[in-house]
Structure 1
């Protein structure tokens, strides 16, 4: 029998679309629900205590309403802080998003890699652990930028990011000691792949970018490998926790990702 229960993707804003898109390509018949916690946006400047309390409670409400077969926390900040709390609270598979430090270290020839995320993500002990386990022979530079989250959201709404502002953000990595040898950057915020081409053009020398989206898509496909999908999944749903002028500007972009039904929690 086919099962209409969806996969639910969760982020503070639109960044999780960079995770949902490769999953949708692997599982084209999967019903999709995308949730942006617009009432809590952005997470990167919130305290760990706020995120650890907010995310499990909100995902509990969403699980009751949409009955997902699996939830993807498509947000590095929420995952590095709240993932254990969510897994303890909900009795269904939860897939988190963590910085792609391992593939970055595997790609790097100079052994200098950068981790570009939010301030909340780059300071987490989880990142220390990933760097120690998978990039022990690398210099790992970190920089957190809340501004780049806003630039990526604006870009999705049709506003091209200012190259000077992108160069200033990247300077947080390239201007550190060893930054002249940096050859791979981890997009450790799911928003940042949305402006990857613009970031590459603004970098002072050629650099490769990696993110966790494709790996998460493969993980979701494996976890649901024995499940049945409807012949027609129907339109994807986008859910905001609050509607405002900023979220309304993003509705056309959501439609481009196949999310043509827009709701408010």
Structure 2
């Protein structure tokens, strides 16, 4: 691999900052790999958009990002984008693309009660793709679904240094408890990459014994898949890892300390 290939980054893509939970896992697997993290703040949030809007936007936007940054691999660090547009993106791009799908399979192995909660965006939890995952890997389990746009906003607020409203988490807990079997739910699939950022708040709200509630998300599995696909490749970081926005946004100046913790030292607009 020549130097230009060695400096080719991994491109992580999400609607906002939720994909930082995936970036953190990728860093543990591949600490020397150069990274570009793209946040589609111009299109945020995805969870309340129609399938047609997402299916049209994502392949075109990722095509622009790939043309500019020449990555060696793309990670769609967003459940909503992956469940709707992953195959279209793979067809459009001539490089490996790793998607993010709800971690129903590992949740089915962990649950003791047989009742699993699926917590995602409204767009994710209604997908036929999720129905297929449940049929293939959680047949015999009860799968309770809840879509929450306000939890995405709460996670963004927390990363921006704010304190999310506790009522957001109480509403989510109530929504699960009111469904048949909700009182027996012992495992929750966090089917949005934003949600691990507020896992502590969710755990406290989903009692009565928060220590027994299991949370499952796909970040570690994604990181292992990326490491496998890039096994044996060389990495050279010739510039700081950076955040790329799809529109100017002054709010992101408040994120600089958090972004630095994830190794993102520069910010630019597409």
Q: TM-score range by the shorter chain?
A: over 0.9
Which residue is equivalent to 2:202?
A: 199
Q: CA RMSD in A?
A: 1.1
Query: Does the Cα contact within 8 Å between 1:38 and 1:247 map onto a contact in 2?
Result: no
Name whichever of 245-254 and 165-174 sits farther off.
Answer: 245-254
In structure 2, distance between residues paired with 1:254 and 1:80: 27
In structure 2, distance between residues paired with 1:52 and 1:150: 22
Question: Which of 223, 232, 239 is matched with 2:229 structurally?
Answer: 223
In structure 2, distance between residues paired with 1:234 and 1:169: 42
1:112 aligns with 2:118: no
Which residue is equivalent to 1:254?
A: 259
In structure 1, distance between residues paired with 2:263 and 2:13: 16
What are the equivalent positions in structure 2 for 1:21-170 lying under 5 Å apart?
21-170=24-173
* Cα deviation code 1:120-163 (max 9, x no counterpart): 00000000000000000100000000000000000001112222
Question: Which of 249, 253, 262 is matched with 1:244 structurally?
Answer: 249
* Cα deviation code 1:22-80 (max 9, x no counterpart): 10111001000000000000000001001001000000000010000000000000000
TM-score w.r.t. the length of structure 1 is: 0.97
In structure 2, distance between residues paired with 1:222 and 1:264: 31
In structure 2, distance between residues paired with 1:119 and 1:183: 22
In structure 1, distance between residues paired with 2:88 and 2:175: 32
In structure 1, distance between residues paired with 2:250 and 2:107: 37
Name whichever of 237-246 and 46-55 sits farther off.
Answer: 237-246
TM-score w.r.t. the length of structure 2 is: 0.95
May I ask how many residue pairs the two structures share in their alignment? 264
Q: CA deviation at 1:233?
A: 5.7
In structure 2, distance between residues paired with 1:41 and 1:247: 14
Question: Displaced runs of 4+ in structure 1, greater than 3 A?
Answer: none
Name whichever of 248-257 and 130-139 sits farther off.
Answer: 248-257
In structure 1, distance between residues paired with 2:204 and 2:248: 33
Query: Does the Cα contact within 8 Å between 1:29 and 1:233 map onto a contact in 2?
Result: no
In structure 2, distance between residues paired with 1:220 and 1:27: 9
Which residue is equivalent to 1:208?
A: 214
Name whichever of 171-180 and 148-157 sits farther off.
Answer: 171-180
In structure 1, distance between residues paired with 2:123 and 2:173: 17
**5+ residue gaps in structure 2?**
none
In structure 2, distance between residues paired with 1:120 and 1:251: 30
